[in-house]
């Protein structure tokens, strides 16, 4: 400020001196006044340059000035740069937060006070069928039309969540979404959603497991108790006692089968994975499956006019001359179970075809195809659940425990294999086991690099 005042006085002195030289005392006064006005207009011009620079907002091209205006320009530029740095830092932090929300396994939707979508992550877009750009500022009530959600939104009681069907839900593959609103700020809301399909399925499996175990044990136990009471209280002849004891043995055998299968499942889940040191010839496995299948077929059709048409692979064929690594009892149990199921559920006279097909990648497929009643599509995803049955009455007749396919699934998982099920209602089913190449080798001991073409 001192230098600015000094500069102003210097201009006046120079103007006054020039005026005194030209016109005396009056000339000095006029010269000082003219010099003051010239200084004022020059100073005003610099102020206008600064205002124009501020209006344009081009911080990179600040006007070059000295004095107070130059200092004002420099201080303004520093202040603006500092504000820009803070804004950029806030923007970067916002982008980090949005990226974290984008990576969340749950759906996140930001709603304004009118319930319009301000932002949503990709998971929410997938769960609700949103388009992040197209549906921006659209009302959530217009996009999510589930009656449960509409009632939940209208009630404005957000202390709990509401469960609705996901956009991709189908009868065979239901999808369940948990949705909850969390108010915040000035009337805004945060909508959180998560896929609880697996949780609901697990809970349903737990309930079914407890109910089925109780039923499978309680029913034969009730029958046994009734027979025991009958034998204790009623005078029976030898023939009646023998008949009752036979029924008791049948029910006890049924309970023993359930307990044995449960113990098998528990052992499979708790034991280490089978190694690669034990090799079994594939023809041995197939022969045992054939023996058990034919024996069960003869037992089930002994009172029928026709038996099953059973077809098994030729054990002398070159494509069967393989060894498989793993636990022989587990593998035999899994493969024989598929054959036994086909025999149990295929009516007498039906056809059951067992095939062994090497694949191009060195693996192999063991498949069992039957001409039984088939399975509806909605039942197929749940067939390997414990105690899950498509037809309970039919299972009772065939003597199944409802644990066979659960055991098969666990055995195959332990051996790196996979179970595939294809079925057409009224036409039959095909159960296929895909065995990896790492578990197979030629009978000579050489590993399989490639095999013949498979179907």
**Domain of residue 152, CATH code:** 3.30.450.20
In-domain check, residue 449 = no
Q: Provide the pLDDT for residue 455.
A: 37
Same-domain pairing of 299 and 415 = yes
**Could you say which of 157, 180, 195 is where a domain stops?**
195
pLDDT for position 452: 43
Residue 117, pLDDT score: 92
Cβ–Cβ contacts within 10 Å for residue 233, how many?
8
**172 and 286 together in one domain:** no
Q: Is residue 108 part of a domain?
A: yes
**Lookup: tokens for 399:** 């003597």
Q: Are residues 338 and 229 in the same domain?
A: no
Q: Determine the pLDDT at residue 401.
A: 66
Q: Give the position of tokens 């011009």.
A: 45
Q: Is residue 448 part of a domain?
A: no
What are the beta bridge partners of residue 164? 177
> Quick one: tokens of 196?
């609880």
pLDDT tens-place string over residues 169-190: 777 678 899 999 999 988 899 9
Quote the CA–CA distance of 286 and 77 in Å, as a whole number: 86
**Span 232-242, pLDDT tens digits:** 888 888 888 88
Q: Do 321 and 206 share a structural domain?
A: no
My answer on whether 284 and 384 are in the same domain is yes
**Domain containing residue 218:** 202-271
Strand ranges inside 4-106, DSSP E = none
Domain presence at residue 288: yes
CATH number at residue 396: 3.30.565.10
In the sheet that 279-281 helps form, which strands lie side by side, from edge to edge? Answer: 279-281, 322-325, 440-442
- 345 with 368: CB under 8 angstroms? no
Q: By three-state DSSP, how is residue 66 classified?
A: coil
Question: Three-class SS of residue 121?
Answer: coil
Strands (E) across 67-197 are located at: 107-111, 117-120, 162-165, 176-184, 188-195
- Based on the fold, state whether residues 401 and 279 are members of the same structural domain: yes
This prediction has a pTM of 0.53
Q: What is the pLDDT of residue 392?
A: 55
- Taking only the tens place, the pLDDT of each residue in 128-147 is 988 888 888 999 989 998 89
- 412: how many CB neighbours lie within 10 A of its CB? 20
Low-confidence ranges of the chain (pLDDT < 50): 394-395, 450-455
295-327 b/e (C-beta count within 10 Å ≥ 16 → b):
ebbeebbeeeeeebebebbeeeeeebebbbbbb
- Element spanning 446, H or E: none
390 in any annotated domain: yes
Query: Is 453 inside any structural domain?
Result: no
Same domain, 255 and 280: no
Q: How many CB atoms neighbour CB 73 within 10 A?
A: 20
Cβ atoms of 440 and 322 within 8 Å: the answer is: yes
Work out how many domains the chain is built from and give that number: 4
* Tokens matching residue 21: 């030289």
* Cβ neighbours, 10 Å, residue 165: 15
Query: Are the C-beta atoms of 362 and 450 separated by less than 8 Å?
Result: yes
**Cβ(124)–Cβ(102) below 8 Å:** no
Tell me, yes or no, whether 22 and 119 share the same domain: no
Q: How far is CA 110 from CA 31, 185, 238, in A?
A: 70, 11, 80
> What pLDDT, on the 0 to 100 scale, is given for residue 240?
84
My answer on whether 296 and 414 are in the same domain is: yes
User: Domain ends where: 98, 117, 148?
Assistant: 98
Domain with residue 209: its CATH number is 1.10.287.130
Residues 139 and 79 in one domain: no
- Final residue of a domain: which of 219, 252, 271? 271
User: Which residue, among 290, 283, 274, 276, has the nearest Cα to 329 in the 3D structure?
Assistant: 274
What are the start-end ranges of the E strands in 142-187? Answer: 162-165, 176-184
Rounded to 10°, the helix 2-56/67-102 angle is 40
**Would 455 be classed as within a structural domain?**
no
For the beta sheet containing 428-435, the strands, ordered from the edge strand earlier in sequence to the opposite edge, are: 309-311, 351-358, 364-370, 428-435, 418-424
Secondary structure class of 110 (helix, strand, coil): strand
Tell me, yes or no, whether 313 and 278 share the same domain: yes
- Per residue in 368-427, pLDDT (tens digit) is 999 999 998 888 888 888 777 776 554 455 555 678 898 899 999 999 999 999 999 989
Which residues, 6+ apart, have CB-to-CB distance to 41 below 8 Å? none
Residue 327 belongs to some domain of the structure: yes
Q: Clarify whether residues 18 and 94 are in a common domain.
A: yes
- β-pairing, 351-358 vs 418-424, is unpaired
Given this model, what pLDDT does residue 454 score? Answer: 42
């Amino acid at each position: 400020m001192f230098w600015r005042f000094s500069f102003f006085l210097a201009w006046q002195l120079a103007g006054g001196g020039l005026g005194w030289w030209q016109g005396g005392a009056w000339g000095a006064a006029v010269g000082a006044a003219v010099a003051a006005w010239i200084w004022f207009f020059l100073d005003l011009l610099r102020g206008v340059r600064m205002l124009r620079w501020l209006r344009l907002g081009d911080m990179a091209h600040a006007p070059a000035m000295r004095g107070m205006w130059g200092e004002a320009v420099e201080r303004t530029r520093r202040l603006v740069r500092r504000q820009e740095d803070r804004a950029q830092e806030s923007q970067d932090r916002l982008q980090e937060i949005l990226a974290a929300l984008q990576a969340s396994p749950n759906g996140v939707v930001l709603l304004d006070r009118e319930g319009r979508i301000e932002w949503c992550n990709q998971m929410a877009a997938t769960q609700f069928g949103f388009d992040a750009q197209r549906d921006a500022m659209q009302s959530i009530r217009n996009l999510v039309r589930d009656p449960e959600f509409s009632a939940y939104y209208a009630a404005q009681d957000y202390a709990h969540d509401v469960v609705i069907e996901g956009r991709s839900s189908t009868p065979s593959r239901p999808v369940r979404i948990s949705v909850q609103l969390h108010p915040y700020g000035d009337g805004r809301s945060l909508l959180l959603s998560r896929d609880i399909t697996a949780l609901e399925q697990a809970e349903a499996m737990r309930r079914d497991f407890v109910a089925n175990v109780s039923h499978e044990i309680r029913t034969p136990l009730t029958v046994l108790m009734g027979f025991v009471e009958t034998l204790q209280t009623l005078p029976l002849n030898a023939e009646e006692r023998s008949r009752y004891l036979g029924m008791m043995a049948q029910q006890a055998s049924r309970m023993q089968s359930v307990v044995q299968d449960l113990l098998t499942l528990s052992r499979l889940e708790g034991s280490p994975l089978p190694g690669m040191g034990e090799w079994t010839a594939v023809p041995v496995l197939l022969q045992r499956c054939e023996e058990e299948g034919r024996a069960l077929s003869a037992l089930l059709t002994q009172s029928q006019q026709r038996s099953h048409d059973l077809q098994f692979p030729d054990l002398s064929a070159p494509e069967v001359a393989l060894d498989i690594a793993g636990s022989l009892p587990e593998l035999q149990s899994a493969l024989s179970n598929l054959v036994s199921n086909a025999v149990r559920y295929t009516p007498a006279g039906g056809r059951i075809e067992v095939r062994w097909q090497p694949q191009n990648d060195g693996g192999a497929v063991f498949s069992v195809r039957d001409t039984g009643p088939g399975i509806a599509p909605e039942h197929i995803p749940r067939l390997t659940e414990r105690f899950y049955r498509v037809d309970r009455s039919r299972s009772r007749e065939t003597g199944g425990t409802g644990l066979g396919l659960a055991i098969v699934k666990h055995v195959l998982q332990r051996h790196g294999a996979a179970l595939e099920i294809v079925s057409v209602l009224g036409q039959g089913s095909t159960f296929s086991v895909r065995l990896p190449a790492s578990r197979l080798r030629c009978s000579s001991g050489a590993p399989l690099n490639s095999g013949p073409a498979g179907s």
